[in-house]
Structure 1
C-alpha cells in the first residue's frame, strides 16, 4: 500500500493579524511546518500552534526563513553564510524549546519561501542552513525539493533528507516551481488539486505549465496554509488519496 505525508505551513498569524485556519488543517494533515518568527508568527502563536499540533498528534517541523516579516519571507536576502547560519540556529533553538514546553518535539526542518527556493541552487546558503541544523540537532530531518543543492549538501553532512511536492503550485518543465509573480503559479481548485496529487503519488509525475510530463518523487505533499481554500484542498486531497488506498503518514514520525 502506498503511503504519503501531507504537510502544511502553520503558525503564520502575527499579533492580531490572523492567517489561515490552523486548527482545521491540523485535523487533516500529518505534518505541520510551524513558523519560527522570522517571516511570520510570534511567541504566542508558536506556543498555541505547537500545543494544538501535540493534541492532534501531528508531527512538527521548523519552518525557518530569512529575517523578513514585512515581505513574508518571500524576498531573497543576500545574507552572508555566517549570518544565515546564526539566524537559522536562533529559529531552531526557539521552536525546539517551545515544542518541549508544549509536550511535543521538532522532528524536521523545512525552509520557507525565498530561502527554500534559493538553496535549491545556491551552495553557499545551502551549506549555511545545513551547518545550522547540524549544530542545533543533527537528528533533525530536512524537507526540500527533489534534486536540490541543499538536499545533496545535507546528505553529505549525514542528515536525513526527504523530498517534497506541492499540491497547489504550478511546475516548470525543469521540475521547479513557477514564480508566484507569474499567472497560473498557484492552483486553487480543490478537485483539480486532489487529482493532481493522486497522479504525483501513484504515477510519480506532474504536468508542467507547458504540458510536459515531469517525473517527481515525493515523500511529502504540501498544501499552503495561507491559501484561501487550504482546508478544502487538504480535505479533498486526503479523501481522494484514501479512496485509492493511499495511507496518510508523517515522513518524520517517531517510528519513521
Structure 2
C-alpha cells in the first residue's frame, strides 16, 4: 500500500541550555511534523517552548519525541527501565510538551520514541507495552510513529491507538526492514542524490533498497530526515523538493 501524500518529519529541539544541535527554525520551514525532544535525551523547557511556538506559527504538527532518561548518551544507549517506570516517564514527557504546545495555540498530535527506545520497541514487547501504556496515561488516543511490523506497531493497534508507519530517508536498512545500527559504517546516509532517490522510492512505491541490495517493503506514511546530521537543512529541502517534483504531495498525516 502506498499513500496519496506523505508526511515529512524531523527531530527538533535537541539541545540543552546554551548548547544547540538542531537548526529548528530552518527545519520548521521544510518539514510538516516536528518530533520535539522532551527533556530526557535532549531539550529543556525554554527550547520546547520556542520550538512549539515556531511550529504553531507555521502550522507544523507537534509530536512528543519520548526517550530513555539519558542526557549524557543522547538517548542512544541501551537501558533497562522497569515497565511501570517507563510508562510513567513516557506520560511525563508527553505532558510536559503538551503544556508548551497548548500555550502556543497548538497541541501534541502524536508520539515518537527516540534512539535506543525506538530500536528496542521494534522487538521488545514488554518495553513496547510500557510505551503504549504511557501514551494512554497521558490521555487521548495519540498516534504512534513506528517501523512497520514492530512490536510497538502491533501492541498499539491492539490497544486501539492509531499507528503511523515511518520510513527513514537518511538511514540504511537491513534485509529485515530494520535500521542498520549507528555504530556500523554506512548506517547514516549523507549523499543527497541517494537520499532523495530513496525517499521517492519509499513514497511512490513503498520500498527501499537494503544495504545488501535486497528490496524491502516499508510503505511509510511519514518520512524522517534527522535534524542532528551535518547539512540537515539542505538535505531536508532537497528531499522535499525531490518528492514534490516526483508528484508526491507533502503534508502532515494528522
Taking structure 1 as the reference length, the TM-score comes to 0.97
Q: CA deviation at 1:32?
A: 0.2
Q: How do 1:65-144 residues align onto structure 2 when only pairs under 5 Å count?
A: 65-144=67-146
Partner of 1:195: 197
Partner of 1:250: 252
Q: CA deviation at 1:169?
A: 0.3
Distance 2:141 2:130 in 1: 17
Distance 1:185 1:63 in 2: 21
Q: Is the 8 A contact 1:191 1:233 kept in 2?
A: no
Provide structure 2 residue ranges, at least 5 long, that are not aligned to the other structure. none
Partner of 1:49: 51
Distance 2:139 2:236 in 1: 30
Q: Is the 8 A contact 1:84 1:129 kept in 2?
A: yes
Taking structure 2 as the reference length, the TM-score comes to 0.97
Q: Is the 8 A contact 2:205 2:219 kept in 1?
A: no
Q: Does 1:210 align with 2:212?
A: yes
Q: CA deviation at 1:36?
A: 0.3
Q: Is the 8 A contact 1:190 1:229 kept in 2?
A: no
Partner of 2:241: 239
Distance 1:159 1:215 in 2: 23
Distance 1:2 1:198 in 2: 13
Give the secondary structure class of the aligned counterpart of 2:63: strand
What number of residue pairs does the alignment pair up? 252
Partner of 2:15: 13
Distance 1:131 1:20 in 2: 30
Provide structure 1 residue ranges, at least 5 long, that are not aligned to the other structure. none
Please provide the CA RMSD for this pair: 0.9
Cα deviations by residue, 1:155-200 (Å, 9 ceiling, x for unpaired):
1111000100000000000000000000000001122111110011
Distance 1:185 1:162 in 2: 23
Cα deviations by residue, 1:131-176 (Å, 9 ceiling, x for unpaired):
1101212321100000010111011111000100000000000000
Q: Does 1:34 align with 2:67?
A: no
Distance 1:158 1:38 in 2: 26
Superposition misfits of 4+ residues, deviation over 4 angstroms: none
Cα deviations by residue, 1:218-239 (Å, 9 ceiling, x for unpaired):
0000000001121111111111
Q: CA deviation at 1:77?
A: 0.9
Distance 2:31 2:204 in 1: 19
Partner of 1:64: 66
Distance 1:141 1:216 in 2: 18
